[in-house]
Amino acid sequence: MLELDKEMIEGLKRIGFKHDIGEDLTGHQMKYFRRGGGYNLDAGSSALMIKGELGLLPFDRIERFNADGAC
């Protein structure tokens, strides 16, 4: 997967998307098995984020969400 998605992963990293393949380098399958989350499977949004058509707000920059969904 890393080789097939190399271009997309590099594009996501350029815009600040935090990417890793797990603490023991086993990938998203083991993240799901161990934690039930912590991964992103692309359904088209990655290309939109890379192009700047969809924003990215890293979780560590969110203090709280308002009732309208804004942060």
Query: How far, CA to CA in Å, does 14 sit from each of 18, 38, 69, 71?
Result: 10, 19, 26, 23
For the chain, what is the total number of helices (H) and then of strands (E)?
3, 0
pLDDT in tens, 45-63: 999 999 999 988 777 777 7
Q: Write out the chain's pLDDT in tens, 71 residues.
A: 888 889 999 999 999 888 888 888 887 788 778 877 766 778 889 999 999 999 887 777 777 777 776 66
The amino acid present at 31, given as its one-letter code, is K
Hunting for tokens 């350029």 — which residue is that?
Answer: 14
* Region at 63 (left for phi over 0; alpha for psi -120 to 50; beta for the rest): alpha
d(CA 15, CA 55): 10
